[in-house]
Amino acid sequence: MDTVPADASRPPVPAPPPAPSRIGRALADAWTITLRDLNHWALRPGAVVVGWLFPVMTVLMFGGLFGGAITTPGPGGYFEFLMPGMFALAMLFGLETTMMAVTTDAAKGVTDRFRSLPMSSSAVVLGRCAADMLNSVVGLVVLAGTGLLLGWSWHGGRGSALTALGLLLLLRFALLWVGIFIGLAASGPEAVTAVQILVWPVGFLSAVFVDPATMPAWLGAAAAWNPLSATAAAVRDLFGNPGFAGETWAAQHAELLAVAWPVLLTAVFLPLSVRRFRRLRS
Amino acid sequence: MTDAGSAITAHDVRKNYGGPAGGAGLNGFDLQVGKGSVCGLLGPNGAGKTTAVRILSTLLDMDAGRASVAGFDVRRQGRQVRERIGLVGQYAAVDEVLTGRQNLVMFGRLNRLPAAAAARRADELLERFSLAGAARRPASGYSGGMRRRLDLAASLIVSPPVLFVDEPTTGLDPAARQEVWTAVRELVDAGTTVLLTTQYLEEADRLADRVCVLAAGRVVAEGTPDELKSALGGDRIDLVLSGPEDTEAARAVAARIASGEPDVDRTAHRIGIPVAGRVRALIRLATELNEAGIEPEDLALRRPTLDEVFLHLTGGTPATGTAAGRADPADAVAAAAPQEASG
Ligand SMILES: Nc1ncnc2c1ncn2[C@@H]1O[C@H](COP(=O)(O)OP(=O)(O)O)[C@@H](O)[C@H]1O
Ligand SMILES: [Mg+2]
């Protein structure tokens, strides 16, 4: 019954199809990897949906619990203030998605399988990047929809709304590299748990929920310089949502920092991730 | 054998993982595997089997040495090597979320098959590895044997001329082990060069043309299973005593007759004696034991098992406890010298 088809196991390697350019191949491979993630979504919708709903839950929790107690600048209530911060925080939550995917692949040997194939070496990372960015875009849409239902709205033009979206995704892009780096450096799933916990102090120690000026001086300074604060403040401004007129240099240059921080993070963690990926060989 | 006729060669490959344990992965590893043959790399846990496979499949850099696969340098021509190998790692490396079919289609695409060809090839392989029924179920629900077969199928998408299989049946039940053996044997019959690592002699004996015994990061013996057996000095007599009191006296008797060092297992009161002349040695032993007033519980002549060969060459202490720990690697190398010379 188990007869071997003539072509099944006999070398030589079949003639490869007409070779497209290097970049073309890298993109084709990356798309295969992205497709793999989309298949994951379809086969295990629970995980990805929970990822999208978690920020929604956080909004409802903080809006409901603290909304009454926190005085917000400007009209429109707490949600008007909170939503832009939550968008930024949702980008930070995305770090877990990236890390989890990277550590799982490494632990299950899937990374090694990819590395043993004649595929483009950048495709694994490019595919991861595309899938995670797509995931975050959907997450942002879900979160924005929730915001609209709760009374949040954007007041600027379409251009500034798109700029705000761009800044959020830029932050996500930077955090992607942080996630890949930690995911590769991590020895096991404990590291993912550690990051899941650390996300919270980073989130709280920012201008996402409250004005840093109300914090003790040193915490306030840290919060003001938090990359999340910069993106949150810039996005508030672009959406025309109320924010704080912070005194610090960081608060006054939020737009600049909302670009500079992600660029800096990427500049540090992208090469580190590449190096780490290469180090898998040693 | 010359390098030209070899599908896999390694010369004095060294790899030290460093770190606090200072673990030496490979320590002067030499290997030549002829085209279309099956080499069994046999060694206990920690011998360096996985390290060797990972270096040869370009996943890991070596510290020193030279290696080539399918005629391409492992270090400098990694891409060409990767185009010609299949790797079945020690742990099944499939995407557990995806279905079996999705896994194969994905790996087919990554092997540069066009979409339609990848789908066709996936169905072919699913059929061939008896996975067609489970093709549309997530791999997480597969049994260990099914996952192994899916893993094997994923490595064969483009019919690589050289296949590395790292401990394919460790942890599998006998039925699943049989399934994997069948799959590997088919490949072998079809002419693929296979480097198979294993801890089981039975596996090496069944699947491999030649066996390389790996201990502490180097090949300590090489040859066909039969050659390895004769390296140990032919036949053996198993002497079982009724109690511990006669062990010393019996050992002294055995030593006079043995063609090599007898293995003494004091807990089981058993002495394994390598002998040259089969029945003559048995008669002499029986007579001398009788003269010494030792009444054996059992006395039997038999050929050495491959396990003994293995233990002898690697100097390991058996988990089951038959032979005493012995020979350091230098001894083992000496025992293996005739085989090594041919490599
Ligand atoms: N990543 C690693 N870091 C440090 N030491 C390692 C690593 N991998 C293997 N080793 C050590 O190298 C030796 C050989 O390991 P390995 O090649 O996995 O053996 P095998 O596959 O034969 O069980 C062992 O002593 C092991 O502890
Ligand atoms: Mg191993």
3-state secondary structure of B297: strand
Predicted pLDDT of residue A122: 86
Nearest residue, CB atoms, B98 vs list A9, A14, A39: A39
Please check whether residue B187 touches A, CB under 8 A. Answer: yes
Indicate if the pLDDT at residue B155 is higher than 60: yes
Q: Crossing angle of helices A217-225/A227-239, nearest 10°?
A: 70
Same domain, B211 and B238: no
Indicate if the pLDDT at residue A82 is higher than 50: yes
Residues of B in contact with A280 (CB under 8 A): 59
Domain boundary among the residues B228, B243, B264 is at B228
Same domain, B318 and B217: no
Number of residues that make up chain B: 343
Q: Do A119 and B161 touch (CB under 8 A)?
A: no
Contact A199, A188 (CB under 8 A): no
Predicted pLDDT of residue A103: 92
Residue type, B30: D
Contact A51, A135 (CB under 8 A): yes
- Distance in Å, CA B15 to ligand 1 centroid: 10
Measured between CA atoms, how close is B8 to chain A, in angstroms?
15
- The per-residue DSSP string of A101-170 comes to HHHHHHHTTHHHHHHTSSS-TTHHHHHHHHHHHHHHHHHHHHHHHHHHHHT----S-HHHHHHHHHHHHH
Indicate if the pLDDT at residue A146 is higher than 80: yes
Domain boundary among the residues B198, B213, B228 is at B228
Domain assignment of residue B275, yes or no: yes
| pLDDT band for position A131 (cuts 50, 70, 90) | very high
Same domain, B101 and B244: no
Same domain, B84 and B223: yes
| pLDDT band for position B2 (cuts 50, 70, 90) | low
Q: Do B124 and A8 touch (CB under 8 A)?
A: yes
Q: Do B59 and A39 touch (CB under 8 A)?
A: no
Same domain, B214 and B249: no
Domain assignment of residue B23, yes or no: yes
pLDDT in tens, B180-235: 888 888 888 888 999 999 988 778 888 898 999 998 899 988 988 777 766 665 67
Say which CATH number the domain at B261 has. 3.30.70.980
3-state secondary structure of B16: strand
Q: Do A116 and B57 touch (CB under 8 A)?
A: yes
Predicted pLDDT of residue A264: 97
C-alpha separations of B341 from A36, B115, B158, B302 in Å:
50, 50, 36, 28
- From chain B residues 257-316, the ones with a CB under 8 A of any chain A CB are none
- Distance in Å, CA A192 to ligand 1 centroid: 25
Measured between CA atoms, how close is B323 to chain A, in angstroms?
37
Same domain, B81 and B220: yes
| pLDDT band for position A271 (cuts 50, 70, 90) | very high
Average pLDDT over residues B280-306: 85
CA atoms within 13 A on the CB side of B269: 16
Residues spanned by the domain of B91: 6-228
Q: Which one has a higher pLDDT value, B98 or B174? A: B98
| pLDDT band for position A161 (cuts 50, 70, 90) | very high
Q: Is the CB of B45 under 6 A from ligand 1?
A: yes
Single out the residue of B309, B260, B295 nearest to residue B281, CA to CA: B260
Q: Which one has a higher pLDDT value, B79 or A13? A: B79
The answer for residues whose C-beta is within 8 angstroms of residue A16's C-beta and 6 or more apart is B112
Say which CATH number the domain at B68 has. 3.40.50.300
How far apart CA B248 and CA A117 sit, in angstroms, is 59
Indicate if the pLDDT at residue B321 is higher than 70: no
In B, minimum Cα distance to A41 occurs at B97
To which residue do tokens 């379409």 refer? A158
Q: Report the domain count for chain B.
A: 2
For A280: left if phi > 0, alpha if psi spans -120 to 50, otherwise beta; the answer is alpha
Strands B38-42 and B193-198: parallel
Nearest residue, CB atoms, B112 vs list A2, A16, A113: A16
Domain boundary among the residues B199, B228, B257 is at B228
Please check whether residue B128 touches A, CB under 8 A. Answer: yes
How far apart CA B121 and CA B134 sit, in angstroms, is 16
- The per-residue DSSP string of B218-259 comes to EEEEEE-HHHHHHHTTS-EEEEEESSGGGHHHHHHHHHHH-S
From atom 1 of ligand 1, which residue's Cα is the shortest distance away? B17
3-state secondary structure of B169: coil
Single out the residue of A147, A135, A130 nearest to residue A87, CA to CA: A147
Q: Do B161 and A115 touch (CB under 8 A)?
A: no
3-state secondary structure of B324: coil
Same domain, B136 and B15: yes
Indicate if the pLDDT at residue B343 is higher than 50: no
Domain assignment of residue B277, yes or no: yes
Same domain, B281 and B255: yes
Q: Crossing angle of helices A45-66/A77-107, nearest 10°?
A: 150
pLDDT in tens, B20-44: 655 688 999 999 999 999 999 998 8
Domain assignment of residue B343, yes or no: no
Same domain, B49 and B144: yes
Same domain, B159 and B36: yes
Same domain, B133 and B260: no
Same domain, B165 and B252: no
Domain assignment of residue B342, yes or no: no
Predicted pLDDT of residue A75: 63
How far apart CA B146 and CA A107 sit, in angstroms, is 20
Domain assignment of residue B300, yes or no: yes
Domain assignment of residue B341, yes or no: no
| Ligand (nearest to CA of B15) | 1
To which residue do tokens 């789908």 refer? B119
Indicate if the pLDDT at residue B271 is higher than 60: yes
Domain assignment of residue B319, yes or no: yes
Predicted pLDDT of residue B320: 34
Please check whether residue A216 touches B, CB under 8 A. Answer: no
User: What is the rounded average pLDDT for all residues in chain B?
Assistant: 83
Q: Which helix (H) or strand (E) holds B337?
A: helix B329-342
Single out the residue of B316, B308, B307, B312 nearest to residue B336, CA to CA: B312
pTM over 0.95: no
- Distance in Å, CA B93 to ligand 1 centroid: 18
How far apart CA A184 and CA A274 sit, in angstroms, is 10
Q: Do B87 and A116 touch (CB under 8 A)?
A: yes
